[in-house]
Chain A
Amino acid sequence: MSEREGKRKVGIRELSPIDVYKLLPRTNCKECGEENCMAFATKVVNREVPIEKCPPLLKKEHEKAYKQLKEMLKPAVKEVVVGVGDRAVKIGGKLVMYRHEFTYFNPTAVAIDVTDEMSEEDVLDRIKRTGQFSFEYIGQTLKLDMIAVRSTSNDPEKFRTTVKRVAENTNLPLILCSLNPTVLEAGLMAAPKSKPLLYAATKDNWKEMAELALMYDCSLTVLAPNNLKLLRSLTKTLLEYGVEDLVLDPGTFSGDGLGDTLNNFTMIRRAACKGGDELLGFPTIGVPMVAWMERGEAPEEVAKWREAYLAAMLVVRFADVIIMHSCDGWTLLPNVVLRQNIYTDPRKPVAVEPGLRVFGTVDENSPVMMTTNFALTYYTVASDIESGKVSGYLIVVDTEGIAVDSAVAGRKLTAETAAEAIKESGVESKVKHRKLIIPGKAARLSGEIEELSGWQVLVGPRDSSDIPKFLQEKWQSKT
């Protein structure tokens, strides 16, 4: 607090490499691996390297500058680590409110719940499914992140047994959920070193919860149902108490009141990112599984459906952790894909692996097409080829993730890169002909590509949706 000196934090967009540079040792020693201190400062501002990568800065004589830099680079939303080991999860750490202002860090962690009244079989099955959940998506493996253990029995002994069982069978971080400190403590005793997230401190139990968080060195959720004044007061109180890693829960309404929930999440994030409010500068937790409270007699699918779309809204509106009950693929898949999309760095074009792709059943007479490795371009082309039931090869050129027209204009897609891509793809040993279909938007490269590669170039359609028709009308492997 004292370090703040009454100033609002400098917004991320206002922070320039010069601000960082001025505080560095400025010896250009290259120990960080960069050419000079300015280059390092630029990477630091872009959050590509931590300042700790500058060894001289960590020396005693630069202690003050290091502290100043630490403060200057501190995210508006504190980063909190839950769990231990390689599956430990970082939550929060947000620098900005809107992703286009910079980028979002630490994708929303998805937790699946188990309870202390589920059968052992059910608990183990849910843990297993959560741990094994995996979906391959543009070169990434999308996974689930945490297990939330709830006490529905309010019996310390039952909770202790369940937490023990869960901790023995997963390395995923835990969220221990009970508003009864005695129950929560029993759970903590079963997994004392696992650094779970505790759920939750309320206006009634905050002191006992704070003691538990301090004793077991773990993070603590602050629950203030639809009451941001109370949330802020509790946060202030807990900070004073010495608990530093807090997670905020303003409550999740699934039906009436949902507007308040979105407002609360939005106000918390705005106060932190735009207003520099350190009392609300903590990660948030949303609970889509509240949808199950209103299930009534409806079939399970109804609750799952509601829970799934609530989760999506929370991922978009600033939740750093969500707890779900459904562990079905159809409810989780849209959400883990959405999370990946929202947390993609908008500063970097999304690229796919360059190289040769095969569609349908190919032979030595199959057509050879070309596109760029901008993910959106690639997936559009691939989907058009697939839906047109076309067989053929597609050479994906490394254009550093730039779309065709921009890549041609920006000289990322040139006769040279095209010719090289043909060679490296190995397609020359797969087909007898030497005919390449290039995107219509790269038409002006056709002559040069022919000269450099020795392949005959056919200028394809400007939009990949016309590929099937184009092939039908224009493609013959023999001349």
Chain B
Amino acid sequence: MPKNEKKKEFLGLKLSSRLMELLAKLQEVELEDFEMDVGNLEIWIQPGAVAAPMVAQPKVAPPVKVKPTEIIETEFIPPVETYPGKVVEVKLGATRSDGGTRGKPVIVGGETTPAFYTFERPTPHPPVIALDVFDMKVPLPKAVKMHVRDVLEDPAAWAKLAVEKFGADLITLHLISIDPLLKDASPQEAVKTVENVVQAMDVPLVIGGCGDPKKDADMFEAVAETFAGERFLISSITRDMDVERCAKFVNKNGHVALSFTPMDLNLARELNRKLYDFLPKKDIVMDLTTAALGYGLDYAFTNMERARLAALMGDPELAHPMSSGTTNAWAAREAWMKMGSEWEPRELRGPLWEVTTALTLLLAGVDLFMMMHPAAVKTLKDMINQLASGSSGNADALAEWVSMKV
């Protein structure tokens, strides 16, 4: 058999001194087969295979297992892979020199490896966080409300607070007052609100709609035209909208489209393909839908993980940075509800629910988080910085927890 021949060759040519050391460490060479690693080559020493076939051997007593007296050294080769695909880099926000008014742009995407597989390659652009700001008073969980109570009816002040105090990389301005079922505010009123927010702070903006496909398109168009060149992220373009019209005004006015689909990678590919007719790839971010911890997070996680792996394996239609509406975590009643005393305080349980949802999706490959609670934002930011920094810890202290007195 060629395999055996190959093994013989190994034995003949590559029997290294390392192997001899190994043998010396064993008190007695086992009769039984064993393996060791030399570099990433694995050699199987099989006396039976080298000499006569096993069947021809006379029956012997089972070999005595000999206990090693010293650590048997092996190698470890980090299992690094290379991937044919790469996530496109998308720039959000434009500075004055680029035709906008933002202080500095935010770049997302560019990954050539799964999320934080930093043993393969570093993270090109650490994921970023956009904080939610609403253009009218909305019901908020108590744990969130206590942090923004004073600015609830002033989106500009809210945005400023989110940037200066809570460290938002971007602001998501949810223009929900245009909803025909709410205030039915006009696109022009929305433009005014955007203007106020743009003046109040200088991070890039995400423009959020109300969910009505027609009204959103009208509002997005008005905002896109008024703030041409700002590279706002238009959140979002959905399948039930006039995709061609939206893609055209996004493109014409120098913005970025958020392609939103409901947890189905085929639908995501389909919508992205439609957008490609009018928009370059570098102007598309995608949102595959975020479900809360306990309410479908498994679908969201796996969908995003699959999308990212597919992108790295060369699927261009999924090779976009991913955005997550992580605020959806608060849709879980366990995040805000008063429960039995054993589950309190909910002021901590709620933001932890949001953090857990966010970290799970961070590890699936999300690039842009839209979030709510300041503590959740701070923790996620710390974790992103920690993971992206590649800082090393003191390995000698790793076992100390065993005898730690708490």
Nearest CB of chain A from residue B223's CB, rounded to whole Å:
24
A231 CA / B305 CA spacing, docked (Å): 28
One digit per residue, 1 when the CB lies within 8 angstroms of any chain B CB and 0 when it does not, for chain A 194-221 equals 0000011011001100100000000000
Q: Of A10-18, A38-46, A79-87, A301-309, which binds chain B?
A: A301-309
A316 and B293: CB pair below 8 A?
no
Nearest CB of chain B from residue A327's CB, rounded to whole Å:
10
Chain A residue with Cβ nearest B35: A1
A341 CA / B7 CA spacing, docked (Å): 46
B117 and A266: CB pair below 8 A?
yes
A409 CA / B300 CA spacing, docked (Å): 23
A325 partner residues in chain B, CB cutoff 8 A:
406
Of B306, B393, B399, which is within 8 A of A256 by CB?
Answer: B393
Interface membership of B145, Cβ < 8 A: no
B398 partner residues in chain A, CB cutoff 8 A:
223, 225-226, 251-253, 290
Q: Of A22-30, A233-241, A425-433, which binds chain B?
A: A233-241
Chain B residue with Cβ nearest A199: B402
A259 and B401: CB pair below 8 A?
no
Most buried by B among A227, A256, A330, A469: A330
B356 partner residues in chain A, CB cutoff 8 A:
308-309, 312, 334-335, 338
A337 CA / B353 CA spacing, docked (Å): 10
B401 and A292: CB pair below 8 A?
yes
B346 and A330: CB pair below 8 A?
yes
Interface membership of A450, Cβ < 8 A: no
Given A251-B398, A257-B392, A469-B181, answer yes or no on A309-B379 (Cβ-Cβ < 8 Å).
yes
A330 and B348: CB pair below 8 A?
yes
A383 CA / B335 CA spacing, docked (Å): 13
B343 and A333: CB pair below 8 A?
yes
Interface membership of A248, Cβ < 8 A: no
Q: Of A49-57, A270-278, A361-369, A416-424, which binds chain B?
A: A270-278
A257 partner residues in chain B, CB cutoff 8 A:
391-395
A257 CA / B390 CA spacing, docked (Å): 7
B71 and A234: CB pair below 8 A?
yes
A267 and B72: CB pair below 8 A?
no
B395 and A226: CB pair below 8 A?
yes
Of B32, B333, B340, B405, which is within 8 A of A117 by CB?
Answer: B405
Nearest CB of chain A from residue B19's CB, rounded to whole Å:
13
A316 and B360: CB pair below 8 A?
yes
B360 and A312: CB pair below 8 A?
yes
B296 and A376: CB pair below 8 A?
yes
A150 partner residues in chain B, CB cutoff 8 A:
402-404
Interface membership of B84, Cβ < 8 A: no
A1 CA / B359 CA spacing, docked (Å): 39
A210 CA / B406 CA spacing, docked (Å): 29
Given A267-B119, A330-B344, answer yes or no on A242-B353 (Cβ-Cβ < 8 Å).
no
Contact residues, A175-210 vs B (CB, 8 A): 177-179, 199-200, 202-203, 206-207, 210
A233 partner residues in chain B, CB cutoff 8 A:
71-74
Q: Of B75-83, B100-108, B128-136, B146-154, which binds chain A?
A: B75-83
Interface membership of A344, Cβ < 8 A: yes
A178 CA / B403 CA spacing, docked (Å): 7
A223 CA / B399 CA spacing, docked (Å): 8
A251 CA / B302 CA spacing, docked (Å): 27
Interface membership of B46, Cβ < 8 A: yes
B76 and A309: CB pair below 8 A?
no
A262 partner residues in chain B, CB cutoff 8 A:
116, 363, 387
A259 CA / B387 CA spacing, docked (Å): 5
A266 partner residues in chain B, CB cutoff 8 A:
117, 119
Nearest CB of chain B from residue A323's CB, rounded to whole Å:
8
Nearest CB of chain B from residue A63's CB, rounded to whole Å:
16
Most buried by B among A4, A233, A325, A350: A233
Contact residues, B366-406 vs A (CB, 8 A): 379, 383, 386-406
A293 and B401: CB pair below 8 A?
yes
Contact residues, A261-298 vs B (CB, 8 A): 262-263, 266-267, 270-271, 274-275, 279, 287, 289-290, 292-293
Q: Categorize the interface residue count of chain B.
A: 35 or more
A309 and B401: CB pair below 8 A?
no
A309 and B293: CB pair below 8 A?
no
Report whether over half of chain A's contact residues are helix, strand or loop; otherwise say mixed: helix
A242 and B295: CB pair below 8 A?
no
A106 CA / B379 CA spacing, docked (Å): 29
Given A1-B35, A376-B299, answer yes or no on A98-B309 (Cβ-Cβ < 8 Å).
yes
A331 partner residues in chain B, CB cutoff 8 A:
352
A330 and B352: CB pair below 8 A?
yes
A330 CA / B341 CA spacing, docked (Å): 10
Interface membership of B260, Cβ < 8 A: no
B405 and A240: CB pair below 8 A?
no
B79 partner residues in chain A, CB cutoff 8 A:
267, 270-271, 274-275
B78 partner residues in chain A, CB cutoff 8 A:
228, 267
Chain A residue with Cβ nearest B363: A316
B395 and A225: CB pair below 8 A?
yes
A188 CA / B117 CA spacing, docked (Å): 39
Chain B residue with Cβ nearest A336: B294
Chain B residue with Cβ nearest A98: B305
Interface membership of B183, Cβ < 8 A: no
B391 and A259: CB pair below 8 A?
yes
Interface membership of B67, Cβ < 8 A: yes
B301 partner residues in chain A, CB cutoff 8 A:
316, 341-342
Interface membership of A108, Cβ < 8 A: no
Nearest CB of chain B from residue A331's CB, rounded to whole Å:
7
A237 and B344: CB pair below 8 A?
no
Most buried by A among B118, B305, B342, B392: B342
Interface membership of A161, Cβ < 8 A: no
Interface membership of B334, Cβ < 8 A: yes
B71 and A115: CB pair below 8 A?
no
A240 and B118: CB pair below 8 A?
no
Nearest CB of chain B from residue A11's CB, rounded to whole Å:
14
Interface membership of A313, Cβ < 8 A: yes
Given A258-B387, A260-B392, A270-B79, answer yes or no on A334-B349 (Cβ-Cβ < 8 Å).
yes
Chain B residue with Cβ nearest A242: B65
Chain B residue with Cβ nearest A229: B76
B395 and A380: CB pair below 8 A?
no
Of A199, A301, A309, A346, which is within 8 A of B355 by CB?
Answer: A309
Nearest CB of chain A from residue B380's CB, rounded to whole Å:
9
A98 partner residues in chain B, CB cutoff 8 A:
302, 305-306, 309
One digit per residue, 1 when the CB lies within 8 angstroms of any chain A CB and 0 when it does not, for chain B 23-44 equals 0001000001111110000101
Most buried by B among A207, A251, A266, A350: A266
Interface membership of B3, Cβ < 8 A: yes
A289 and B401: CB pair below 8 A?
yes
B344 and A259: CB pair below 8 A?
no
Chain A residue with Cβ nearest B34: A1
Complex A-B: 7 CB contacts under 8 Å? A202-B399, A237-B72, A256-B391, A263-B118, A329-B339, A329-B340, A330-B346
Closest 6 CB pairs of A and B: A257-B393, A251-B398, A225-B398, A2-B33, A329-B343, A330-B349
Given contacts A234-B71, A253-B398, A329-B340, 7 further A-B contacts (CB under 8 A): A115-B405, A256-B394, A257-B394, A333-B334, A334-B293, A337-B294, A338-B297
